[in-house]
A and B are shown apart, each in its own frame.
Chain A
């Protein structure tokens, strides 16, 4: 289903014939860097112009012309009151200090907090989409010690939220979700609320350097071309299609392709449970507290990890990976750590 918007023109005309299925959009930035709307504005096919023709963006603080209360009055449009819109939220919802650390605008001279507005619009909307890892799971803006008491959008709403994580979200992830909603309705979601057609595979399983991993050949430092697993790549426990989708919309590159690592930005564990970024998965030490996350995801991550540990240990035993190189090479003790992690996570 990844090609909902591939052909654009014809498809767009097809969608255009279904006005009842083309609700408007309120794109609300809460406690955010605005990187998700910037990323989405980098859309190539369809172009931004086409996207803005296909959807009525009632509100997007980045793009809209109105300002002040002539902007915030769009939250109370009749169409919005009737629920004929998709609410897209980027950013966390701060709950400390009664939400006062995130005032998103005024209505009738009164400050409106992100907390109030997300609850209000989130209850009315036909669908709620969390764009980016902050809105989906908390992400960097809810990282330890979470000074603003930030939570994911789904934590303040009593309804399903479609999570489209990423830091930022890839333009096509969020646009394919929006076009899917428009054409077909709600997509099938995984246990973390992510559209399954977008977050099915791990980064690792589709990585261009998988053959090198299989052969036990690893990059020794950042900036070397190759498999960066030992440098801290979180590809094995991260679900996203970056290696084949590439960024930024027009296929050009991705993190590991430019000799860096995957830091797991589509996972609920990001960033605390994947830090330090440049540490191998079994050596992570920044674990100030557990995020309240779906136990299944953690189990999956730990299981993948244990599996990879065993896989590598097999290579060590058969002599395909040489011990004694400068960087630590996985050994049986790492495999044990992996299993320990799996056990811990099941407690």
Chain B
């Protein structure tokens, strides 16, 4: 049996590690790990709740607006406040643009070199040399797509800046709605950029994703998972309850509504002390020397099931496409979602109502607790906030990458990525290109993945170290 480690896993947001055990040319066991721990939840304690949306964005450079959104939803839940329709639309536009930036960047700038041979110069040279199936003409076309994607993802961020002031870590999403209602000329600027991005997704991104699928059909049966798909719902409706992409969980026996008390976390293979349990009451203390542990990510489960989140899970929960989860399904679902969102963004822009407020002002109560759950680009994201005496007393974050890249739980059940990696043929253990293909189809974000529940006692112990 060969042990194959990939560390650092590059072309991801921050770096992670992956270890696979290969026997007779196939992966028999896999460990997905995050190698950097931040302790952001600990940092959030004692702060003013108004700081949470801006500060928690700093967890992640590629999905910052999703954290702002989840944080606002949690504070609004505590206060019982609800943003006006304009506020919801504007937040959807901000997050939608960030999602487009992410999906475009992911396919080309992060994922492409798993499939197409990269140019022979820095920063692309020196990697794997075989396993590429595109003709030289197709490779050239995809490389051009790469530079176009650099431009288009920038354009999406530029459009976001018109509403958010800057990005990453935009300022437009605040408790109660959005800060700016764009005037007519700004809306026209937005529309111009949106059209360009939509055309790129239609004419370049989606066709390239389908070309990839046609050359790598075998990846429709590699990186496969059977069950456990979760979404917190994406893009809240501006009228009424619910989301454009509905929340739900797809288990063996079909789709059901998400209940927060179905979520638990296990610490068995994570560098923390203790056993885990209910996210509200759980305590954890870092322990980098824990036996059997191999990740800073904890293992969230929904009713004991490891769940996958992201564009494919959202697609399945919308009842679209065959109920199947593979490497290629994930990649193509991401491209299809980009097109859908690009089209929706133009609709939302039209639905904005000039003269109506973009934000409702409200007071955040001195104490209380609330959850803000929303789907980020990669899957379900939830912020669990408890306030006491006007300050944050505890702040917990369960990220999409904690779901997708979770290690084994207390009963030894693998996380979604680990599950998907088992059975993957590895032709050459010195060039395990197949592993990265499957990992990246989940769009890893290691900077989000690692997190710890903050509890006062845990924190005190931590400080003694």
Contacts and interface: CB of A to CB of B under 8 A. Distances in A.
Q: Do A and B come from one complex?
A: yes
B15 A105 contact: yes
Contacts of B147: 47-49
Given A62-B13, A252-B161, A279 B166 contact: no
Contacts of B165: 247, 253-258, 260
B436 A67 contact: yes
Contacts of B46: 144, 286, 288
A222 B8 CA distance: 42
A70 B47 contact: no
A276 B8 contact: no
Contacts of A277: 48, 50-51, 54-55
Contacts of B423: none
A168 B161 contact: no
B105 to A, nearest CB: 8
B62 A34 contact: yes
A276 B172 contact: no
A24 B121 CA distance: 12
A31 B43 contact: no
A114 to B, nearest CB: 8
A205 interface: no
B359 A222 contact: yes
Interface in B284-330: 286, 288, 296
A223 interface: yes
A23 B255 CA distance: 56
Contacts of B12: 61-62
A345 B288 CA distance: 39
A68 B5 contact: yes
A109 B4 CA distance: 10
Interface size on B, as a range, is: 35 or more
A247 B167 contact: yes
B58 A37 contact: no
A63 B37 contact: no
A148 B39 contact: yes
Given A247-B161, A271-B55, A58 B50 contact: no
Interface string A42-79: 11100111001000111111111111111111100000
B96 interface: no
Interface stretch (B150-158, B340-348, B375-383, B411-419): B150-158
B243 interface: no
B7 interface: yes
A43, A64, A271, A276: residue with the most chain B Cβ atoms closer than 10 Å? A64
A278 B50 contact: yes
Interface stretch (A96-104, A121-129, A191-199): A96-104
Interface string A267-291: 0000100011111000000101000
Interface string B187-211: 0010000000000000000000000
Contacts of A256: 165
Interface string B1-36: 000011111111111010000000000000000011
Contacts of A59: 123
Contacts of B174: 222-223, 260
A167 B58 contact: yes
Contacts of A111: 7, 35
Contacts, number: 283
Interface in B116-160: 118, 121-128, 147, 150-151, 153-154, 157-158
Interface string A16-55: 0000000010000111111111110111100111001000
B204 to A, nearest CB: 16
A105 B459 CA distance: 28
Contacts of A258: 162-165, 171-172, 179-180
A143 interface: yes
Interface in B78-113: 105, 109-110, 113
B277 interface: no
A202 interface: no
Interface string A135-165: 0000111011111100000000000000000
A279 B48 contact: yes
A68 B296 CA distance: 19
A68 B154 contact: no
A145 B459 contact: yes
A225 B80 CA distance: 26
B43, B110, B178, B180: residue with the most chain A Cβ atoms closer than 10 Å? B43
B388 interface: no
A106 interface: yes
A61 B164 contact: no
Nearest to A60: B123
Nearest to A224: B179
A255 B7 contact: no
A101 B12 CA distance: 19
A331 interface: no
A304 interface: no
B151 A64 contact: no
Given A49-B150, A61-B11, A168 B62 contact: no
A67, A105, A261: residue with the most chain B Cβ atoms closer than 10 Å? A67
B6 A68 contact: yes
Contacts of A96: 465
A254 B169 CA distance: 12
Nearest to B166: A247
Contact of B463 (A33, A145, A265): A145
A65 B118 contact: yes
Interface in A290-331: none
Interface in B422-438: 432, 436
Given A43-B154, A103-B36, A257-B165, A67 B48 contact: no
5 contacts: A61-B15, A62-B10, A64-B123, A247-B165, A258-B180
Given A63-B123, A278-B51, 8 more contacts: A32-B14, A34-B60, A62-B10, A101-B38, A104-B15, A222-B359, A248-B154, A248-B157
Interface of B: 5-15, 17, 35-40, 42-43, 46-48, 50-51, 54-55, 58-62, 64, 105, 109-110, 113, 118, 121-128, 147, 150-151, 153-154, 157-158, 161-169, 171-172, 174, 177-180, 189, 286, 288, 296, 358-359, 361, 432, 436, 447, 452, 459, 462-463, 465
Q: Which 3 A-B pairs have the closest CB atoms?
A: A35-B61, A147-B39, A276-B48
